[in-house]
Amino acid sequence: MYCSLADISHQLGYRVYFISKEALMRIIQIVASIIVLAPIVGYAQQQASVDSKKAIAKYQSIDKNSDGMVTKAEAEAEGMSAPTFNKLDTNKDGTISQSEFIAGLAAGYYTGGGKWE
């Protein structure tokens, strides 16, 4: 004797719901997008976290004349290369402000222990 899925589910007291192929494909696309994007979002959040107290202390240690700006000479004296300095100096005024410095730390230009990019 042949029974369909609908007959069996009716006998067991369950309802069976069917979705279209298009709806199933859309669900698969959404789940795949979440799976792909979740690690990227986590990495971005990890990169953005910088200990502000340590960042400010590091900035002040580089700013030898305490004028609130790190010059290319001050940065190079601390082991920062000219290309890295230029990447951190986003407004291209020839100095690195505290906010530019913290953004550079968040971007991973400083790896610690006096090592820059």
This prediction's pTM: 0.55
Cα first-last separation, the chain: 73
CB atoms within 10 A of CB 85: 22
Q: Of 90, 60, 63, 59, which is closest to residue 74 (Cα–Cα)?
A: 63
Is the CATH code 1.10.238.10 the one for domain 52-108? Answer: yes
pLDDT digits (tens, 9 = 90+) for 10-51: 777 766 667 788 888 898 999 988 887 777 666 555 544 567
Q: Tokens representing 22?
A: 């298009």
Q: Tokens representing 86?
A: 């230029």
3-state secondary structure of 15: coil
The structural domains of the chain, with segments of one domain joined by +, span: 21-50, 52-108
8 A C-beta contact, residue 44 and residue 106: no
